[in-house]
A and B are shown apart, each in its own frame.
Chain A
Amino acid sequence: MSLASSGSLISRNEGQDNMNLFIEKEGKKAAPLIAALNIVIVCAAIIAFFWVSLAIIDLKFDFSFLPKYRNWILNGFKTSLGISLLSLVLSLLIGILSAVGTSSRILALRYFCRGYITVIRGTPLMTQIYLFYYIIGTAWGIESRFISGALILSIFEGAYISEIIRGSYLSIDETQLEAARAVGFNRRQTLRFVILPQMVARTVPALAGQFASIIKDSSLLSIIAVVELSQSFKEISTSTFHLFESYFTLGAIYLCLTLPISFISKRLERRFYYEN
């Protein structure tokens, strides 16, 4: 009797395990082994799909030309990273200033900042690159493509960062601000001890994500002939005729840059996750 019941208990458990190999409740983390298994399955399916696609059109890859262009790639990589880092700093500055500006007491400043955010977010980066580089840049004699590229990218990303900062300010709980007044903090102390720490906690993970966008968006600067990573590969592909290999390598390098950033962003999110 007891044997039979314990036997059925085991088999029922096994049945559940079988189901759980592929199914997990929403919002719940899968066990590491099960996660690995499912990731392998997904990867295998995707690779198989492309394998078959390649076979159908009878395409073969040859990456052997790459080492020859090592220096081109390295230079492009340095330029991309340099522009992105410079833009990260500048766009953060622009983002903070314009976020503060949108609620300025000086009306002209307030409307300028709101207009800036709206127009920049509502138009393609390509349009902005042409406008700022060929018209504004030429008119005011900004010679360096690197500098104007970084500036244009900063103006573009700054509008998004501005919204991130504004959003994190608005999401601060009203009670937190009233509590700050109740304990006797003045405005400066409220900013320093309550508003800024809470804003940093909400902004930093989103900023890390924005940095990944900056890196990707910097590839558009190739249209004003900034020789960054994607422009390097464009040149490599036209001189070697290895179009697919060049652009796939490019994609892989971008992924190598953005994956760690999104990983760090996730980590920061968890580190600052102190609410609820």
Chain B
Amino acid sequence: MRIEIEHLYKSFSNSKVVLEDINFCDEVTSLSVVGPSGGGKSTLLRIIGGLLSPTSGSVTVDGTKLVQDERHLIQYRREIGFVFQQGGLFHHMTGRENIIRPLVSVHGYSEKDAADRADELLTRFGLADDGHKLPAALSGGQRQRIAIARAVAPNPKLLLLDEPTSALDPEYTTEVLNMVSELSSTGIRFIIVTHEMGFARKACDKVAFLQGGNVVEYGVSQEVFSSPATPQFRQFLGKMFEWS
């Protein structure tokens, strides 16, 4: 899938510039976005996901430019899966209902087809016994895996994950990342914002390093991680691996 970003700026009402002239053009199959906190990673991902409008500039996906009005954006979001850092499941619905409801109401599935699809995904990812529970009764790892299942259920053309493991205990991080990796191997394209450098390096083809609202470094993960071209990325990696 071709993603093209041109002269993208974003500033919030408090006037601090969060994204400053982002330019990007490449085929995306599996891309990690890494960088220090506050660098604008979530903001960029939400703009790509159609959840936030840029101050100026454009995003083009597969040759179609994103029109920044609610009617077009709703249509666009329906083709994208989004996973939040935490709290993205609807609190008042069971895990299974979380998957079924959007399939029925947004994607036009019948109740039965939606239920079958939900059960298929829950079984496939070892969640068959947890689907009937409310999010509050699930572990953080189970919640995130159900959130991912909900995001991929309607076969989106792109899956966006914003630090899906940052709020998790380390023991759950692996099971969530394994799920992303398995989905990737079955052909799902994704962009993930993450602090898991091992995952960014091994499971994602490309990596973008975002700092101070700029893409400071971009390239093939294997190459960029073994020989960073910029001192900023080198310094960032130094900090990330200080204790590992």
Q: Are B90 and A184 in contact (CB under 8 A)?
A: no
Among residues 47 to 80 in chain B, which have CB atoms less than 8 Å away from a CB atom of chain A?
49, 51, 74, 77-78, 80
Interface size band for A:
20 to 34
Q: Are A184 and B101 in contact (CB under 8 A)?
A: no
What's the Cα separation between A182 and B78 when bound, in Å? 8
Instruction: List, in ascending order, chain A residues with CB within 8 A of B101's CB.
Output: 183, 193
What's the Cα separation between A186 and B77 when bound, in Å? 10
Question: B89 an interface residue at 8 Å Cβ cutoff?
Answer: yes
Question: B82 an interface residue at 8 Å Cβ cutoff?
Answer: yes
Question: A276 an interface residue at 8 Å Cβ cutoff?
Answer: yes
Per-residue CB proximity of B14-47 to A under 8 Å, as 1/0? 0000000000000000000000000000000000
Interface secondary structure of B, over-half rule = loop
Q: Are A185 and B106 in contact (CB under 8 A)?
A: yes
Q: Are B136 and A179 in contact (CB under 8 A)?
A: no
Per-residue CB proximity of A171-190 to B under 8 Å, as 1/0? 00101101111111110010
Residue of B nearest to A192 (CB): B105
Known: A176-B87, A274-B91. A182 touches B136 (CB 8 A): no
- Partner of B90 from A179, A181, A186, A276 at Cβ < 8 Å: A179
- Partner of B105 from A179, A181, A185, A201 at Cβ < 8 Å: A185
What's the Cα separation between A185 and B49 when bound, in Å? 14
Known: A176-B90, A189-B105, A197-B92. A182 touches B49 (CB 8 A): yes
Q: Are B88 and A186 in contact (CB under 8 A)?
A: no
Q: Are A183 and B150 in contact (CB under 8 A)?
A: yes
Instruction: List, in ascending order, chain B residues with CB within 8 A of A193's CB.
Output: 90, 101, 105
The number of residues on chain B lying at the interface, defined by a beta carbon within 8 Å of a beta carbon of chain A, is: 25
Total contacts A to B, CB within 8 angstroms? 64
Instruction: List, in ascending order, chain B residues with CB within 8 A of A179's CB.
Output: 82, 84, 87-90
What's the Cα separation between A178 and B78 when bound, in Å? 13
- What is the distance, in angstroms, from A108's C-beta to the closest C-beta of chain B? 27
What's the Cα separation between A87 and B88 when bound, in Å? 39
- Partner of A182 from B77, B91, B107, B134 at Cβ < 8 Å: B77
What's the Cα separation between A178 and B51 when bound, in Å? 8
Among residues 100 to 117 in chain B, which have CB atoms less than 8 Å away from a CB atom of chain A?
101-102, 105-107
Instruction: List, in ascending order, chain B residues with CB within 8 A of A175's CB.
Output: 84, 86-88
Among residues 106 to 163 in chain B, which have CB atoms less than 8 Å away from a CB atom of chain A?
106-107, 134-136, 150-151
Interchain residue pairs A-B with the least CB separation, the first 7: A184-B78, A182-B82, A183-B102, A184-B106, A175-B87, A179-B88, A274-B134
Chain A to chain B contacts (Cβ below 8 Å), 28 pairs: A173-B91, A175-B84, A175-B86, A175-B87, A178-B84, A178-B88, A179-B88, A180-B90, A181-B74, A182-B49, A182-B77, A182-B80, A182-B82, A182-B151, A183-B77, A183-B106, A183-B150, A184-B102, A184-B107, A189-B105, A189-B106, A193-B105, A194-B90, A198-B91, A274-B134, A274-B135, A274-B136, A275-B136
